[in-house]
Structure 1
Amino acid sequence: MRIAHVLQLATSTPIVALERDGALYDVAELERHFGTKLADIRGVSDFHTRVVALRCAGLHALDDRLLSGDRPSSTELHPSTVLWLPPCATDRAAYIQLGPYAHGAERPWYRFGNSRALVGHDAAIPFPALENEPDYELNLAALLGEDLRRASPDDVERAIAGYTVLSDWTARGLEARSLACGLPPSEARDFATQLGPVLVTPDELGPVEVLRTQARVGTASRPCSRIGEWAFSLAESVAYISNHIELRAGDVVGAGRVFGGSAGQPVPYGATVELMIERIGRLSGKPVRGPAPSPWRRG
Structure 2
Amino acid sequence: MRLATFRHDGRVRTGVVDGDQVRPFAGDPTMLEIISAGVPAALEGALPLADVRLLAPLQPTTLRDFVAFEEHVEGVRRSIDGSGGVPDAWYDAPTFYFTNPNRIYGPDDEVPFPAHSVNRDFELEVAAVAGPDGAIFGYTILNDWSARDLQKREMQVNLGPAKGKDFASSLGPWIVTADELERFKDSDGFLDLWCDVTVNGVEVGRDLLSNMGWTFETMIAYAGRDSRIVPGDVLGSGTVGNGGCLAELWGRNGRQDPPPLRDGDEVTLTVEGIGSLTNRIISGSKTETLPQARRRDPASARAERQH
Q: Could you tell me whether the CA contact under 8 Å between 2:104 and 2:170 is conserved in 1? A: yes
Q: Match of 1:123, as an amino acid?
A: D
**Structure 1 residue 46: Cα displacement:** 2.1
Q: What is aligned with 2:254? A: none
Q: Could you tell me whether the CA contact under 8 Å between 1:209 and 1:229 is conserved in 2? A: no
Q: Match of 2:266, as an amino acid?
A: T
- 1:114 partnered with 2:100: yes
Q: Could you tell me whether the CA contact under 8 Å between 2:124 and 2:143 is conserved in 1? A: yes
Equivalent residue in structure 2 for 1:53, among 22, 25, 36: 36
Q: Name the CA shift for 1:271/1:212 in 2 (closer, same or farther; >3 Å).
A: same
Report percent identity of matched pairs: 27
Give distance in 1, aligned partners of 2:126 and 2:170: 11
Give distance in 1, aligned partners of 2:269 and 2:40: 30
Equivalent residue in structure 1 for 2:15, among 9, 14, 17: 17
Q: Name the CA shift for 1:209/1:201 in 2 (closer, same or farther; >3 Å).
A: same
Q: Could you tell me whether the CA contact under 8 Å between 1:147 and 1:246 is conserved in 2? A: no
Secondary structure class of the residue paired with 2:212: coil
CA RMSD in angstroms comes to 2.3
Equivalent residue in structure 2 for 1:146, among 109, 114, 132: 132
Give distance in 2, aligned partners of 1:181 and 1:244: 26
Give distance in 2, aligned partners of 1:147 and 1:169: 30
Secondary structure class of the residue paired with 1:187: helix
Equivalent residue in structure 1 for 2:277, among 283, 287, 295: 283
Q: Could you tell me whether the CA contact under 8 Å between 1:96 and 1:110 is conserved in 2? A: yes
Q: What is the number of equivalent residue pairs in this alignment?
A: 256
Structure 2: segments with no counterpart, 5+ residues: 71-85, 250-258, 292-307
Q: What is aligned with 1:3? A: 3
Structure 1: segments with no counterpart, 5+ residues: 29-38, 63-71, 149-158
Q: Match of 1:21, as an amino acid?
A: G
TM-score, normalising length from structure 2? 0.77
Give distance in 1, aligned partners of 2:65 and 2:226: 15
TM-score, normalising length from structure 1? 0.79
Q: Match of 1:273, as an amino acid?
A: V
- 1:273 partnered with 2:271: no
Q: Name the CA shift for 1:131/1:223 in 2 (closer, same or farther; >3 Å).
A: closer
Secondary structure class of the residue paired with 2:32: helix
Give distance in 1, aligned partners of 2:239 and 2:160: 18
- 1:197 partnered with 2:167: no
**Structure 1 residue 219: Cα displacement:** 2.2
Q: What is aligned with 1:167? A: 143
**Structure 1 residue 89: Cα displacement:** 3.2
How big is each residue's C-alpha offset from its partner over 1:220-253, in whole Å with a ceiling of 9 and x where there is no partner? 1134221111222221121112113111111111
**Structure 1 residue 26: Cα displacement:** 2.4
Q: Could you tell me whether the CA contact under 8 Å between 1:55 and 1:145 is conserved in 2? A: no
- 1:89 partnered with 2:59: yes
